[in-house]
Amino acid sequence: MKGRVIKSTGSWYLLQNEEGEIFKARIRGKFRLDNIQHTNPVAVGDFVDFEVDKDGLALIQKIHERKNYIIRRSVNLSKKSHIIASNIDKAFLVVTMDNPKTSFGFIDRFLVTAEAYHIPVILVFNKMDAYDEELIQEVNYYKSIYEKIGYETLEVSTINGFNIEKLKSKLSGITSLISGHSGVGKSTLMNVLHPGLDLKTAVVSDFNQKGQHTTTFAEMYEWPFGGFSIDTPGIKEFGLVEMQKEEIQHYFPEIFNKKSECRFDNCLHLNEPKCAVIAAVENEEIAPSRYENYLIFLEEVQEASNI
């Protein structure tokens, strides 16, 4: 029997077969030894073959090859990674300017991870109803940086329904990933898109302006307007794992486009002579925040390779 993993809780999974039936499932022991660089052998979004035993429990026998996946560094194991979700058509990163504020570092880390696994991203600027003129200007500044590179952006509000129908049309008929910091309103947004979900929501702490975690495990939901979305836990950091320092620049489109103009083919855009990327930063063709994060990620990958 064929199905798709719609929820993972560590050792147990929920599967949905082609007829829409739901099964509680476990995996064969041998899968625990495969793909040892990942802490979880099966991820939400995986297509699998399974058998059902006499008690109605499913046993996963085969995992089909993934089109793509998105990962974060394992919390406890620095050399290992955790697959958040797989077989994603498009990712939607929910961003807020306040309460809490999404940093350039978090956005760029997500985008680099998505670029590495060929997942298109739309930046969704949420809570637009709550922003004063200064914060709206900040939204416009963020948008100008990322739209110039080629990323699509969308402003939304769950309070007044602004652009919710437009968001629905972008989600319809595909498998999407919805991600973002805790507190950016992911669960509220999903409840508005599908009132029947009734996902837990939590207020942002006044003490540190950080959101409370409301999603513990990744889970896939089917939209009433067509398509599926994977809701992810509020993720603090995406780990730049499985990457070499030379390839980081490939996942910054504006840096990669300038690479061919550098004097040296192996230029890392640090302090090499006649570096087109450094010149582009000085000429404000490349946003300083993007270049700074490129340098941070470069150093991080270098340090990881020395562990």
Residue 152 and residue 150: Cα distance in Å, rounded? 7
Dihedrals φ, ψ of 93, to 5°? -100, 115
Tokens of 154: 């969308």
Tokens 């939204």 sit at which residue?
139
Amino acid, single-letter form, for residue 139 = V
Upper half-sphere CA count for residue 305 (Cβ side, 13 Å):
12
How many Å apart are CA 244 and CA 195, to the nearest integer?
Answer: 43
Q: Which residues pair with 91 in a beta bridge?
A: 121, 177
Full-model pTM: 0.88
Tell me the C-alpha distance between 89 and 263, whole Å: 37
The residues that bridge with 212 in the sheet, in sequence order, are none
- Per-residue pLDDT of the chain (307 residues), as tens digits, is 999 999 988 779 999 999 999 999 998 766 554 544 666 788 999 999 999 998 999 999 999 999 999 887 665 545 567 788 999 999 999 999 998 999 999 999 999 989 998 999 999 999 999 999 999 999 999 999 999 999 999 999 999 999 999 999 999 999 999 998 888 999 899 999 998 887 776 544 343 344 444 445 788 999 999 999 998 875 555 667 668 889 999 999 999 999 999 999 999 999 999 999 999 999 999 999 999 999 999 998 888 777 5
Residue 215: per-residue pLDDT:
41
- Residue 61 near residue 28 (C-beta atoms within 8 A): yes
Q: Which domains does the chain have, with CATH numbers?
A: 2-65 (2.40.50.140), 70-231 (3.40.50.300), 245-305 (1.10.40.50)
Taking a C-beta distance cutoff of 8 angstroms, is the pair 109, 238 a contact? yes
Picking from 206, 204, 201, 170, the residue whose alpha carbon sits closest to that of residue 96 is 204
* Three-state secondary structure call for residue 134: helix
